[in-house]
Chain A
């Protein structure tokens, strides 16, 4: 059960366009990494690549939340453990939610302040709520590694902080694409900054201040 992310002189493409070229990156177990950069810098592409590299160990919070809106919050979260039960149990649980998983999901949702909407269709929720459902689904997987693509972009600051704490506390390794530099500096122990198709900066967070990272966002 050991893994690491390794990219050696890799070129990453998105829709047939080179987004990042010739980059080297390795992430070891236990690291808490924040990816920074302007939108379009290649954060999502990098995350997707990492996810595909180590799917078995990773839980993913995609940027577009990727929820099944016709199903309830409960079902969406339960999907995080679809690989841990047999098909019959899964189907049974789709038609009639079972007591045990419901209790587990409810407990998790309580942490994210979602327990009241547990049986509501996901399509009826607000943007912030949907984002937390996606987070709950990832957390429910109980994996060691969490990959998140701007997972707190739609949350207010109090909730955002709470969620960040949870994410970092419950996963051994965390890689998050972030748009909020202060939040990144606060929670991550390593910052990777992307600019102009390359890794522009890769340093421990404790050595950096927000001003040091300003250049990533200038054109």
Chain B
């Protein structure tokens, strides 16, 4: 058999690494808390299913309003993020730039929103910036990677003495423009998800009503909102036209501006100059007692909250990572021409769109209502969402494979022909999402699972922003660590960088 050389060459490393991660996940399961604690989980699930089957669209006005707001935040946030990301990508080689981008994107959108909420309140800027800031950093990184991978030979063939701006616009940008466009569109999809989830902390987007409806068990109303959201995402390529973008942006501003009351900058100043200064430092008389107090304070914060949060977050992340990978391998045949006919592929696509466009935050929230508090809801939510995304990417990759004339069928085809060919790519996708899964895991704590987000949320809830900032910083630091570890592993496995899935 003509196995692709690439795979044979890397087999041992790829397989060994996979086994190591599976082993780590199994150890994590021992330390995890996975259970269904509700007395009658099926009863509530039946009600949910009933609600999903009978969506109630009667509240058209609220649905339309929430939908518009969701779109407006996403449009403004993603546009600003893309523009800044583009500018930053040009200077991404500077250490300062890529380090700050790594920091900015290691903080989850919801944490950004919680921070801005403290001084901007429910001002539209809170939502717009919560999307724009991390998205600038992510776009900067991905745009820079796309530029990096683009063919440099036309650039080198230019006559010497050509201006750098002219060089860039003639021999660099046209080469990457299509990739930029595709990626930015994907980013908008992410932006819509983020915008939706921002509703959970009070912005007037779909999440605001979703949370209320799910909380009150009004599943039919919730279903109506969900279906609206799916249709919006699935139809993106019909309504997202370059020529319409200006119209959308103006409409977004028109929608959000009425809520943009003037900003009281003294609140902003107070937040940065007082609120986030650690309590003992703020209260101390002299620098010695400040130092002393700070150390005790940090020590206590770390051992009573952060440490436990870190362990729980890591345990959950590792389990979710492996399960996402497994699910992805099971899902990708659904959209692959080697296994599905035209109709099957379309159906598979629809299924994956639904799974991957449901924000994991929302999924976890729903499962938490159904199964009670444990790690289970979070694990399943992360697995479904990330599994669907990686499955989608693997499926697209597998579709490009041309098989020898007489391919095997069914399981043989899957195990002997397809999986070996996509495996390196699959691992690249999975490791690329590792840091994202970690970030999401931390955030799910806000729903009541004891990951880092739980303690961050508690600190905000107790108006102790000093603690919140330290905990967010810890989360960001670990996130950066995982990012660089993942890059090392990908290099060790000699996996090509994949930019489309961050």
The reply, when asked whether chain A contacts chain B directly with Cβ atoms under 8 A, is yes
List 25 A-B residue pairs with CB atoms under 8 Å apart, sorted by A's residue number: A55-B160, A56-B160, A56-B161, A60-B157, A62-B153, A62-B156, A66-B153, A66-B157, A68-B154, A69-B175, A70-B174, A70-B177, A79-B154, A79-B157, A79-B159, A80-B159, A82-B162, A82-B163, A82-B167, A83-B163, A90-B163, A90-B169, A90-B170, A91-B169, A137-B157
Quick check: A70 and B175 within 8 Å, CB to CB? Answer: yes
A210 within 8 A of B: no
Quick check: A141 and B159 within 8 Å, CB to CB? Answer: yes
B96 / chain A contacts, CB cutoff of 8 Å:
none
Interface of B is mostly: helix
Q: Given A62-B153, A66-B153, A66-B154, does the pair A71, B170 have CB atoms closer than 8 Å?
A: yes
Q: A68-B171, A94-B169 are in contact. List 12 more A-B contacts (CB 8 A).
A: A56-B160, A62-B156, A66-B151, A68-B170, A68-B174, A69-B175, A71-B170, A75-B170, A79-B154, A79-B171, A82-B159, A94-B170
CB distance from A76 to the nearest CB of B (A): 8
CB distance from B174 to the nearest CB of A (A): 4
Contact with B along A121-154 (1 / 0, CB 8 A): 0000000000000100100010100000000000
Quick check: B163 and A70 within 8 Å, CB to CB? Answer: no
Chain B residue at minimum C-beta to C-beta distance from A61: B157
Quick check: B159 and A59 within 8 Å, CB to CB? Answer: yes
* Distance, CA A81 to CA B170, complexed state (A): 12
Quick check: B174 and A64 within 8 Å, CB to CB? Answer: no
Nearest 10 CB-CB pairings of A with B: A66-B153, A83-B161, A82-B162, A55-B160, A90-B166, A70-B174, A83-B162, A66-B157, A83-B159, A66-B154
B244 within 8 A of A: no
A86 within 8 A of B: yes
Contact with A along B136-158 (1 / 0, CB 8 A): 00000000000000010110111
B165 within 8 A of A: yes
B343 within 8 A of A: no
Most buried by B among A56, A70, A85: A70
A56 / chain B contacts, CB cutoff of 8 Å:
160-161
Chain B residue at minimum C-beta to C-beta distance from A79: B170
* Distance, CA A99 to CA B170, complexed state (A): 18
Most buried by B among A82, A90, A91: A82
B160 / chain A contacts, CB cutoff of 8 Å:
55-56, 83
Quick check: A79 and B174 within 8 Å, CB to CB? Answer: no
B261 within 8 A of A: no
Quick check: A70 and B178 within 8 Å, CB to CB? Answer: yes
A207 within 8 A of B: no
Interface size class of B (residues with CB under 8 A): 20 to 34
Most buried by A among B151, B159, B161: B159
* Distance, CA A38 to CA B174, complexed state (A): 35
* Distance, CA A67 to CA B153, complexed state (A): 8
Total cross-chain contacts (CB, 8 A): 70
CB distance from B333 to the nearest CB of A (A): 33
Quick check: B175 and A82 within 8 Å, CB to CB? Answer: no
Contact of A82 among B153, B158, B178 (CB under 8 A): B158
Quick check: A62 and B163 within 8 Å, CB to CB? Answer: no
Chain A residue at minimum C-beta to C-beta distance from B161: A83
* Distance, CA A55 to CA B158, complexed state (A): 10
* Distance, CA A94 to CA B170, complexed state (A): 7
CB distance from B113 to the nearest CB of A (A): 38
Contact with A along B116-152 (1 / 0, CB 8 A): 0000000000000000000000000000000000010
A39 within 8 A of B: no
A81 / chain B contacts, CB cutoff of 8 Å:
159
A82 / chain B contacts, CB cutoff of 8 Å:
158-159, 162-163, 166-167, 170
Chain B residue at minimum C-beta to C-beta distance from A141: B159
B169 / chain A contacts, CB cutoff of 8 Å:
90-91, 94
B153 / chain A contacts, CB cutoff of 8 Å:
62, 64, 66
* Distance, CA A70 to CA B158, complexed state (A): 16
A87 within 8 A of B: yes
B162 / chain A contacts, CB cutoff of 8 Å:
79, 82-83
A85 / chain B contacts, CB cutoff of 8 Å:
166
Quick check: A66 and B163 within 8 Å, CB to CB? Answer: no
Chain B residue at minimum C-beta to C-beta distance from A142: B159
Quick check: A68 and B175 within 8 Å, CB to CB? Answer: yes
Q: Given A59-B159, A64-B153, A68-B154, does the pair A87, B165 have CB atoms closer than 8 Å?
A: yes
B161 / chain A contacts, CB cutoff of 8 Å:
56, 83
B159 / chain A contacts, CB cutoff of 8 Å:
59, 79-84, 141, 143
